[in-house]
Amino acid sequence: MAVRSHLRIYLVFVLVLAAGLSIGTSALAETGPLPSWNDGPTKQAIVDFVQKTTDKSSPAFIPPAERIVTFDNDGTLWPSHPMYTQLAFALDRIKALAPKHPEWKTQQPFKAVLDNNMKALAAGGEKGLVELVMASHAGMSTAEFEKIVSDWFMTAKHPRFKRPYTKLAYQPMLELLSYLRANGFKTYIVSGGGIEFMRPMTEAVYGVPPEQVIGSSIETKYEMKDGKPMLMRLPKIHFIDDKAGKPVGINMFIGRRPVAAFGNSDGDRQMLEWTGAGNGARLMMLVFHDDAKREYAYGPANGLPDTKFGTFSQSLMDEAKKKGWIVISMKNDWKRIFAPEQ
């Protein structure tokens, strides 16, 4: 019995050791800076860029103060399908406000929202969308809007992945943000989305503080109410931070040209052009959604289906190739898309 008992202890010891080694090895394989990125030229390009620009003896060295990096949000840091997160918010908000607006039952584009009629909604075009945004995003103070947005993020879930939107940041991009910050880069979000829709969540989700978020905005007006100053949100567009607006927004808010820029669609083209036209080392990358199984697949570049939410045109793909912008294949370059569920 003593021998068998010793044998058992020995076997348990060996199994534990083996398990330990196996865990050790797999952990070891992921201790690099970008564990959710597959090894290959895409990951290597990022590592090479960071190494040469932070090495004082390299001719490509960039002083810390100039290490400005800009990231698009929708489709670059988190999904933009089946629709932009902010549009999902606007639709929920219209439904929540409907009891106070009986006229919406018969009035487009509101009727389409209340009927969940996406076809009628699409028929309203951009004009209809602007009406929805104004009805859902304006008419309150900035403090009230911040609370409305924060509350929505606490409960809203993505229709396919059944997780809060705030848990759907792309894991490889979170690692990239951390890796860049650990090397002295200042990470900015430069999105076509609403600046005050993003700010309540960017710090918690991406580690990006509000003062490093640039986005589209409506006008606000300073008012005194009962002796207390407020900023009231007006139903009037102030700035559209998309396409040619992105370099304008970057110049306005930061006053420096980025040294690296990350996007995923035709809306990011000018940001990458502007970044690439600077002197010295530059890194421009585009996330290409070619992974229908784990996320979504759309283009229309490379023959994938077209989309209203983050078009990646063939002409953008051609410009990327011509200018040496790196196209990230979600399918091939990323080990995983999202963090494992907690």
Q: How far apart are CA 202 and CA 94, in angstroms?
A: 24
Amino acid residing at 151: D
Taking the alpha carbons at both ends of the chain, their separation in whole angstroms is: 44
Exactly one of 53, 80, 217, 264 binds a second copy (CB under 8 A); that residue is 217
**How many other CB atoms are there within 10 angstroms of residue 38's CB atom?**
14
Binding flag, residue 231, a second copy (CB under 8 A): yes
Binding mask 128-157 for a second copy (x = CB under 8 A): --------------x---------------
Exactly one of 20, 24, 125, 209 binds a second copy (CB under 8 A); that residue is 209
Binding mask 54-73 for a second copy (x = CB under 8 A): -----------x--x-----
Question: Helix (H, G, I), strand (E, B), or coil: what is residue 122?
Answer: helix
In this structure, what token pair is assigned to residue 301? Answer: 């570049």
Exactly one of 56, 228, 293, 322 binds a second copy (CB under 8 A); that residue is 228
Exactly one of 25, 251, 302, 314 binds a second copy (CB under 8 A); that residue is 251
Looking at the chain, list the stretches that DSSP marks H as alpha helix, in order from N- to C-terminal side. 2-29, 41-54, 85-97, 110-114, 118-123, 125-137, 142-155, 171-182, 195-206, 245-253, 269-276, 314-323, 330-333
For 295, residues 6+ apart whose C-beta sits below 8 A from its C-beta are: 79, 81, 289, 330, 337
For 136, residues 6+ apart whose C-beta sits below 8 A from its C-beta are: 89, 90, 93, 94, 97
Angle subtended by helix axes 269-276 and 245-253, to nearest 10: 60
Kindly give the pairing relationship between strand 228-239 and strand 213-225: antiparallel
Segment lying near a second copy (by CB under 8 A), choices 31-39, 113-121, 246-254, 292-300: 246-254
In this structure, what token pair is assigned to residue 21? Answer: 């080694």
Whichever of 79 and 192 has its CB closer to a second copy, that residue is 192
Question: Helix (H, G, I), strand (E, B), or coil: what is residue 217?
Answer: strand
Min separation Cβ 274 and a second copy, Å:
5
DSSP-derived letter for residue 243 is T
Binding flag, residue 273, a second copy (CB under 8 A): yes
Residues in 275-334 that interact with a second copy by CB under 8 A: 277
Exactly one of 102, 222, 279, 322 binds a second copy (CB under 8 A); that residue is 222
Segment lying near a second copy (by CB under 8 A), choices 54-62, 92-100, 149-157, 205-213: 205-213
φ and ψ of 283, to 5 deg? -135, 120
Segment lying near a second copy (by CB under 8 A), choices 22-30, 53-61, 165-173, 192-200: 192-200
Exactly one of 52, 95, 167, 256 binds a second copy (CB under 8 A); that residue is 256
Tokens 């990230």 -> residue: 328
Segment lying near a second copy (by CB under 8 A), choices 34-42, 109-117, 163-171, 208-216: 208-216
Binding mask 159-188 for a second copy (x = CB under 8 A): ---------------------------x--
Min separation Cβ 250 and a second copy, Å:
9
In this structure, what token pair is assigned to residue 252? Answer: 């306005």
Binding flag, residue 253, a second copy (CB under 8 A): yes
Whichever of 167 and 256 has its CB closer to a second copy, that residue is 256
Q: How far apart are CA 31 and CA 257, in angstroms?
A: 32
Q: Is cis: bond before 210, omega within 30 of 0?
A: no
Binding flag, residue 248, a second copy (CB under 8 A): yes
- Can you give the binding site for a second copy, defined by CB under 8 A? 65, 68, 142, 186, 195-196, 199, 209-211, 213, 217, 220-222, 224, 228-229, 231, 244-245, 247-248, 251-256, 270, 273-274, 277
